[in-house]
Amino acid sequence: NQSNASAGEPFQRELHYKALMPAMRIGDVLLFQTRTLSGQVQRAVTRAEYDHIGVVMRVPIKSRHPASLVILEATNSRGIQVSPLDSVMANAMEAGSRVAHRKLEWTLRHRAIEVKRLKRQYDEILERLEDFLDTNVHKRYSLRSLISGKESETGYFCSQLVAVTYKKMGILSESTKTHECWPGTFAQSAPKGSLPLIGAKLGPETRIRFDEIDIVDAKPMRDSSIQIPSAKPMRDS
The arithmetic mean of pLDDT across residues 90-105, rounded, is: 93
Under the banding of pLDDT at 50, 70 and 90, the label for residue 109 is low
Among residues 181, 191, 199, the alpha carbon closest in space to that of 27 is found at 199
Under the banding of pLDDT at 50, 70 and 90, the label for residue 223 is very low
Q: What is the mean pLDDT of the chain?
A: 81
Does the model's pTM come out above 0.85? no
Q: CA–CA separation, 121 vs 116, rounded Å? A: 9
Is 220 in a helix, a strand, or coil?
coil
Q: CA–CA separation, 17 vs 190, rounded Å? A: 24
The CATH label, of 1.10.10, 3.90.1720, 2.60.120, 2.20.25, for the domain at 12-210 is 3.90.1720
| pLDDT at residue 111, as a whole number | 47
Helix (H) or strand (E) holding 169: helix 158-169
**pLDDT tens across 24-38, in order?**
999 999 999 999 999
Better-scored residue on pLDDT, 210 or 25: 25
Domain ranges of the chain: 12-210
How much of the chain, in percent, has pLDDT values that exceed 70? Answer: 75
The arithmetic mean of pLDDT across residues 119-135, rounded, is: 86
